[in-house]
Structure 1
Amino acid sequence: MQFSAQEDITAPIDTVFDMVADFERFERMAMRRGVDVRRVDGPVPPAAGTTWETVLKIRGKPRQITVEMTDCRRPSILRFHSASKGMNGATVVELLALSQRRTRLSIDMSLAAKSLPARLLLQSLKLGQSRFRRQFQTRLSDFARELEERYMHGA
């Protein structure tokens, strides 16, 4: 299953990259939402090879997911590979400078099942795919507006 979304942000590409690569902020946000997150290893600041172990509830069951940053090319690309007991995922975050003060943020995600229970989970996601895609785009739009606000107010 694959899905993607993109948003244009009124901020320079280097600034957007810094905010998107603020992993400590994302770790804190995830913890506030009940996700157990810990950085296992990797360089500081995070770069290719950095790994996180997470535990989150999906459909009421705790799922362990390992996320590894596989590529980090400033200021244009971040790639991640995720793996759980029955599923693998890939995420690509790409930034494109549209002008000196405008950046396009694109996110592509794909999920692949390795087991029958994971296939069933993916199948249920596919049934609600249009709603899921809308939510994904809405969250990315909200995130883009937040980045713009942080840029405008120098946060």
Structure 2
Amino acid sequence: MKLSANEDIEAPIDTVFRAVTDFDFFERSALRRGIDVTRTDGAKPHWSMGFDYRGKARRLEADLIEMETPSLVKFRGKMGGIYGDLDVELVPLSRNRTRLSVATVLKAESLTGKLLLQSLKLAKSKITKRYKKRVGSFAADVEKRVGAAGKRPV
């Protein structure tokens, strides 16, 4: 199953890249949503997250697998019988405008994972709307922070 979203942000690519790689911000956001987050810093960060989904305790393990400043960040995660890749790509459209492309690909590697993924596929249109809304909200937040800092060009 693949989910993707694109947003154009009125901010320089370096500013958007800093926002995308502000891992502390995302961890605090997850904690506010009731997700237990533990980060292990090594050569590349690793996150272990615990949360309830459909009445069951779930555990997600995620790793940063690639980062090319200022254009690309890739993560890989595994939860039960499902694994997924999250790719964030930034393309400068002009000096003060950046296109944010976010794509998630989920695949099952066990029967349990296939059943969970199938239930997600049944709700794909709803999940896609929420996914795009979240990416849009993130883009708007980055623009708001840039504007609030007085760095927006006139």
Task: Check whether TM > 0.5.
Answer: yes
Instruction: Calculate the TM-score normalised by the size of structure 1.
Output: 0.93
Structure 2 regions of 5+ residues with no counterpart? none
Cα distance, 1:60 vs. partner? 1.6
Equivalent runs, 1:108-147 vs 2, <5 Å: 108-147=103-142
Equivalent runs, 1:1-155 vs 2, <5 Å: 1-43=1-43, 49-154=44-149
Measure the CA separation in 2 of the matches of 1:85 and 1:134. 25
Amino acid at match of 1:147: V
Cα distance, 1:41 vs. partner? 2.7
Q: Deviations over 1:92-111 (max 9, x none)?
A: 00000000000000001011
Amino acid at match of 2:113: A
Amino-acid identity (%): 44
Cα distance, 1:38 vs. partner? 0.8
RMSD across aligned C-alpha pairs, in angstroms?
A: 1.2
Structure 1 regions of 5+ residues with no counterpart? 44-48
Q: Deviations over 1:95-149 (max 9, x none)?
A: 0000000000000101111221211111111111111111111111111111100
Q: 1:150 is paired with a residue of what secondary structure?
A: helix
Measure the CA separation in 1 of the matches of 2:40 and 2:51. 16
Q: Deviations over 1:9-30 (max 9, x none)?
A: 0000000000111000100000
Cα distance, 1:39 vs. partner? 0.6
Amino acid at match of 1:12: P
Count of aligned pairs: 150
Amino acid at match of 1:26: F
Measure the CA separation in 1 of the matches of 2:60 and 2:133. 24
Q: 1:5 is paired with a residue of what secondary structure?
A: strand
CA contact 2:48–2:60 (8 Å) conserved in 1: yes
Cα distance, 1:4 vs. partner? 0.5
